[in-house]
Amino acid sequence: MNNLLEIHHITKNYITDKEEIKAIKDITLQVHKGEILTLVGSSGCGKSSLLSILAGIDTATSGFFQFHKENPVIGYMLQNDALFPWLTIYQNALLGLKIQKKDTIENQEYVKELFKKYKLEEFMNKKPSELSGGMKQRVALIRTLAIKPDILLLDEPFSALDYQSRLAVSDDVFNIIKKENITTIMVSHDIAEAISMSDRIVVLSKRPCYVKKIYDIHLTNKKNPIENRKAPEFKDYYNQIWKDLDINV
Amino acid sequence: MSEQAKSIIKKKKRQKFFIIFVQFLIVIGFFLGWEYLAQNKIINSFIFSSPSRIMETLQGLIITGELWEHILTTLYETILAFTIGISAGFVIAIILYEFPILAKIIDPFLTMINSLPKVALGPIIIIWAGANTKSIIVMALLINLIVSIMNIYNGFQGVDEMKIKLLKSFGANKKQILRYLIIPESKRTIISSLKINISMTLIGVIMGEFLVSKKGIGYLIIYGTQVFNLNLVMTGILVLILLSFIIYEIVSFIEKKLST
Ligand SMILES: Nc1ncnc2c1ncn2[C@@H]1O[C@H](COP(=O)(O)OP(=O)(O)OP(=O)(O)O)[C@@H](O)[C@H]1O
Ligand SMILES: [Mg+2]
Question: Is A82–B160 a contact, with Cβ atoms under 8 angstroms apart?
Answer: yes
Cβ of residue A214 closer than 8 Å to a chain B Cβ: no
Regarding whether A115 and A36 lie in a shared domain, the answer is: no
- Partners of residue A147 in chain B, C-beta under 8 Å: 170
Range of the domain at B29: 1-43
Regarding whether B126 and B35 lie in a shared domain, the answer is: no
Regarding whether A21 and A11 lie in a shared domain, the answer is: yes
For residue A47, which atom of ligand 1 is closest to its CA? 21
What is the per-residue pLDDT across B7-45, written as a single tens digit (0 to 9) for each?
999 999 999 999 999 999 999 999 999 999 999 999 998
- Partners of residue B163 in chain A, C-beta under 8 Å: 82, 84
Percent of chain A with pLDDT over 90: 64
State the pLDDT at residue B215.
92
Using the mean position of ligand 2's atoms as its centre, give its distance from the Cα of residue A200 in Å.
Answer: 19
Tell the residue nearest (CA) to atom 8 of ligand 1: A49
- Confidence class for position A163, pLDDT limits 50, 70, 90: confident
Regarding whether A215 and A109 lie in a shared domain, the answer is: no
- Confidence class for position B98, pLDDT limits 50, 70, 90: very high
State the pLDDT at residue A249.
53
Regarding whether A93 and A41 lie in a shared domain, the answer is: no
Element (H, E) at B196: helix B183-211
Regarding whether A116 and A18 lie in a shared domain, the answer is: no
Q: Is residue A177 part of a domain?
A: no
State the pLDDT at residue A1.
58
State the pLDDT at residue A130.
92
Regarding whether B82 and B31 lie in a shared domain, the answer is: no
Tell the residue nearest (CA) to atom 12 of ligand 1: A23
Nearest alpha-carbon partner for A152 in A76, A241, A228, A246: A76
Regarding whether A144 and A160 lie in a shared domain, the answer is: no
Regarding whether B13 and B96 lie in a shared domain, the answer is: no
Average pLDDT for residues A211-221, to the nearest whole number? 90
Regarding whether B20 and B55 lie in a shared domain, the answer is: no
| Number of domains composing chain B | 2
Regarding whether B101 and B68 lie in a shared domain, the answer is: yes
For testing contact with chain A, the best of B168, B170, B188 (most A CBs within 10 A) = B170
Percent of chain B with pLDDT over 70: 100
Assess whether pLDDT exceeds 60 at residue A53.
Answer: yes
Regarding whether A227 and A158 lie in a shared domain, the answer is: yes
Regarding whether B127 and B9 lie in a shared domain, the answer is: no
Best probe residue, ligand 1, of A39, A45, A52, A155 (max atoms within 8 Å of C-beta): A45
Give the nearest partner residue to B172 out of A82, A99, A147, using CB atoms.
Answer: A99
Regarding whether A61 and A13 lie in a shared domain, the answer is: yes
Q: Is residue A123 part of a domain?
A: yes
Percent of chain B with pLDDT over 90: 75
Give the nearest partner residue to A74 out of B163, B169, B180, using CB atoms.
Answer: B169
Q: Is residue A244 part of a domain?
A: yes
Using the mean position of ligand 2's atoms as its centre, give its distance from the Cα of residue A52 in Å.
Answer: 10
Regarding whether A229 and A133 lie in a shared domain, the answer is: no
| Lowest model confidence (mean pLDDT) among A32-36, B165-169, B193-197 | B193-197
Question: Is B171–A84 a contact, with Cβ atoms under 8 angstroms apart?
Answer: no
Average pLDDT for residues A28-41, to the nearest whole number? 94
Average pLDDT for residues A110-121, to the nearest whole number? 89
Q: Is residue A132 part of a domain?
A: yes
CA distance A42 to A245: 7
Assess whether pLDDT exceeds 80 at residue B1.
Answer: no
Assess whether pLDDT exceeds 90 at residue B95.
Answer: yes
Q: Where are the alpha helices (DSSP H) in B99-182?
A: 100-115, 122-129, 133-157, 161-169, 174-177
Domain boundary among the residues B9, B25, B43 is at B43
Range of the domain at A20: 1-72+151-167+182-249
Regarding whether B58 and B38 lie in a shared domain, the answer is: no
| Number of domains composing chain A | 2
Assess whether pLDDT exceeds 60 at residue B224.
Answer: yes
- Partners of residue B185 in chain A, C-beta under 8 Å: 84, 86
Name all residues whose Cβ lies below 6 A of ligand 1.
A 14, 16, 21, 23, 41, 43-49, 189, 207
Assess whether pLDDT exceeds 90 at residue A162.
Answer: no
Assess whether pLDDT exceeds 60 at residue A189.
Answer: yes
Regarding whether A211 and A109 lie in a shared domain, the answer is: no
Regarding whether B224 and B95 lie in a shared domain, the answer is: yes
- Confidence class for position B186, pLDDT limits 50, 70, 90: confident
- Partners of residue A136 in chain B, C-beta under 8 Å: none
- Partners of residue B160 in chain A, C-beta under 8 Å: 82
State the pLDDT at residue A248.
60
Regarding whether A224 and A104 lie in a shared domain, the answer is: no
- Confidence class for position A48, pLDDT limits 50, 70, 90: very high
Regarding whether B59 and B37 lie in a shared domain, the answer is: no
Question: Is A100–B181 a contact, with Cβ atoms under 8 angstroms apart?
Answer: no
Using the mean position of ligand 1's atoms as its centre, give its distance from the Cα of residue A24 in Å.
Answer: 10
- Confidence class for position A220, pLDDT limits 50, 70, 90: confident
Q: Where are the alpha helices (DSSP H) in B99-132?
A: 100-115, 122-129
Task: Please report, for the domain that includes residue A216, its CATH number.
Answer: 3.40.50.300
Question: Is A82–B169 a contact, with Cβ atoms under 8 angstroms apart?
Answer: no
Q: Is residue A176 part of a domain?
A: no
Average predicted confidence (pLDDT) for chain B:
92
Neighbours of ion ligand 2 (CB under 5 A): A 48
Regarding whether B110 and B59 lie in a shared domain, the answer is: yes
Regarding whether B116 and B231 lie in a shared domain, the answer is: yes
Average pLDDT for residues B191-213, to the nearest whole number? 90
- Confidence class for position B244, pLDDT limits 50, 70, 90: very high
Cβ of residue A78 closer than 8 Å to a chain B Cβ: yes
Q: Is residue A87 part of a domain?
A: yes
Cβ of residue A76 closer than 8 Å to a chain B Cβ: yes
Task: Please report, for the domain that includes residue B154, its CATH number.
Answer: 1.10.3720.10
Question: Is B176–A99 a contact, with Cβ atoms under 8 angstroms apart?
Answer: yes
Assess whether pLDDT exceeds 60 at residue A226.
Answer: yes
Q: Is residue A173 part of a domain?
A: no
State the pLDDT at residue B258.
82
Side by side, the strands of the sheet bearing A36-40 are A62-67, A3-15, A20-32, A209-216, A200-204, A36-40, A183-187, A151-155, A74-77
Percent of chain A with pLDDT over 70: 98
Regarding whether B183 and B63 lie in a shared domain, the answer is: yes
Regarding whether A156 and A142 lie in a shared domain, the answer is: no
